Amino acid sequence: MLTYRDLDVWKNSMSLVEYTYETTLLFPKEEIYGLTSQIRRASVSVPSNIAEGFMRKNTREYLQFLYIALGSLGELDTQLEIAKRLSYVVDTEKFNIDITLVRKQLYSLINTLKQRLK
């Protein structure tokens, strides 16, 4: 039986969480309750919402959670840009590649689910 753990988008978003945590370990300590916390929460929100939506077993609800995951991905992207501008992150290329991949996978899954509703 297929579970959310089998979805490539969930797996890739989990990898993004790991990389996010590794990267934010290097942020200034005064950001622990600021940008560090926000970035971590946004990254964790992506796979969490994919999983929660999957478990709902209702296509409309599933879509709602995928849109929330997409919003969290945009939030993460923006927060990483802020971190880059503050020189907390020097190179965001890996983040950009990973975020783009997860975004494309989310849109693909959303479009597939929307077809089911027709």
Q: What is the pLDDT of residues 57-77, one digit of tens each?
A: 799 999 999 999 999 999 999
Q: What is the pLDDT of residues 13-28, one digit of tens each?
A: 999 999 999 999 999 9
Examine the pLDDT at 105 and tell me if it is beyond 90: yes
Which amino acid appears at position 33 of this protein? Y
What is the span of the domain harbouring residue 90? 4-117
Q: What is the pLDDT of residue 79?
A: 97
How many domains, the chain?
1
Q: What is the pTM of this model?
A: 0.96
Q: Specify the CATH number for the domain of residue 22.
A: 1.20.1440.60
d(CA 57, CA 49): 13
* Number of residues assigned to the chain: 118
d(CA 105, CA 71): 14
**E strand or H helix that includes residue 86:** none
DSSP conformational letter for 34:
T
